[in-house]
Amino acid sequence: MRLTKRNLGWPEDKEFFVPEEALQYFRQFVEERKLAEVKWQETLTAYKKAFPELAHEWERVIRGTLPADWDQDIPQFDPDESPMATRVASGKVLNAVASRLPELIGGSADLAPSNNTYLKEHGDFERESYQNRNLHFGIREHAMGATISGMALHGGVRPFGGTFLVFSDYMRPAVRLSSLMRLPAIYVFTHDSVGLGEDGPTHQSIEQLASLRAIPHLTLIRPGDANETAVAWRVALENRVGPVALILTRQGLPILDRSVFPPASDLQKGAYIIGPETGKLEAIIIATGSEVHIALEAWRKLSSDGFGLRLVNMPSWELFEAQDQGFKNAVLPPEVKVRVAVEAGSPLGWERYVGEEGRVIGINTFGASAPGKVVLENYGFTVENIIANVKALMK
C-alpha cells in the first residue's frame, strides 16, 4: 500500500514524517507476505493434485458451506414415543449429523452428560489426538465462549458449546462479541426454566431469555418438542450471519403428532399457528418451548367451549421478526387485541407481542426448590390459569 496523507488520515495542509526505518520495515513485511502467498499457492496446488477429494472437502469447509447430504441422518421422532426432553433430542440430532460434518467440533463447560453435547464416536480432543472432536472446557463458561468465538473467526471448523441457560451470564461478554462480529457460533443452553426442578433458584433461569434476546444479531430458538429441536439444529447449522442459541428443556415433553399439527419445519419462520381458531378469531395465546403443551390443552378446552381462539407457537422472536410484515400480520392480526403470552421466564419484552391490552403469564421473582411440575404449577403455568386469563381479557 502506498503511504499518503489521505490514507494515513493526515490533513492535506500538514507536513508529516515517516522514519526510513519504518518504511523499510513496511517494505520487508509486504515482500515477505508476497513470498508466503506464492509458497502457499504452490503447496495448495500440489496438494490438490495429490489429494483431489480431500482438497475439495477442505475448500468446502473453509468456505463454510454444508455438503449436499449433511442432513440425511437427522432423525424423525415418533409421537408415540415417550415424552422426550429437548436436550435429549438435541444430543440425538447432534450425533446424527456429526459424521457427515467433520468440521463440527465442540463440548461443554463440564456439563456434557447434562447438555447432551458429547459426540459419541469422535473421541476427546487432546495432545496427540487432534483428530478427535470433543472439547472439555471445564467449569469455564467465559473461556468456552471466547474459545468458540476464536474458532469461528478463524474458520475451517464449526464450533459449539454447552452449559445451563442460567450460566449464560458467565459467558455473556463472549456471546456479545460473537454477536457483534456475526460469528456462526452455536450455544447449547439446557435446563431452560424453573421446570428443571429441585436444583432450585440458583439454577432456575428467570431473566436469561430476556437478557439474551436483548443482544443484537443473536438468534434464540426455544423449540417445543423433539422434532422442532431437529429443525432448530438445521437452522443453526445453515446460519452464517451470527450466533444461534438453542434453549432446551431438562424435563420431558410430548412429541406432537405432525399429521395433526403443522410440520415442525414451520419453526424456521419463528412463529406459526399451531392451534387454529374455529369461527371468528377473538383471542390469541402465544407460547414457547415447554409451555406450548400447557397452552395447547387450554386452547382445546376453550375452543370446545365455542371461543374463537388461536394458539401461536413462537420458538424464536428473531426468526419471526425476519419475516415480511404480511406473514407477521397473518399470524398475529393487529386488530385482535386479546392476547395472552405464556413463557416460564421474565415477561420483559413480551409487550411487543401482547400489546397494552394483553397479558403475560411469566415469572417476576426467583424460582423455588421443588419438583419441576410443582414449581411450574405454583407459578401459574397451568391450563386453568391460562383459561382464566383469556376469559378475563375477553370480558
Q: What's the distance, CA 189 to chain centroid?
A: 8
Residue 10's pLDDT band (cuts 50, 70, 90): low
- How far, in Å, CA of 164 to CA of 162, rounded? 7
pLDDT, residue 29, reads: 87
What does pLDDT average to over the chain? Answer: 94
| Percentage of residues of the chain with pLDDT beyond 70 | 95
Among 147, 73, 140, 85, smallest CA distance to 115 is for 85
pLDDT, residue 92, reads: 98
Identify the three-state secondary structure at position 56.
helix
Identify the three-state secondary structure at position 125.
coil
pLDDT digit string, tens, across residues 140-179: 999 999 999 999 999 999 999 999 999 999 999 999 999 9
pLDDT digit string, tens, across residues 58-75: 999 999 999 999 999 999
- How far, in Å, CA of 264 to CA of 282, rounded? 26
Least confident range from 4-8, 26-30, 269-273, 342-346: namely: 4-8
pLDDT, residue 13, reads: 60
Q: What is the mean pLDDT of residues 94-99?
A: 96
- Phi, psi dihedrals of residue 273, rounded to the nearest 5°: -80, 110
Sheet containing 272-275: give its strands across.
Answer: 272-275, 309-313, 283-287, 339-342, 359-361
Residue 12's pLDDT band (cuts 50, 70, 90): low
H/E stretch holding 190 reads strand 186-190
pLDDT, residue 1, reads: 45
Q: What's the distance, CA 207 to chain centroid?
A: 17
pLDDT, residue 382, reads: 98
Catalytic residues: 141
Name beta bridge partners: 221.
246
pLDDT digit string, tens, across residues 252-292: 999 999 999 999 999 999 999 999 998 899 999 999 999 99
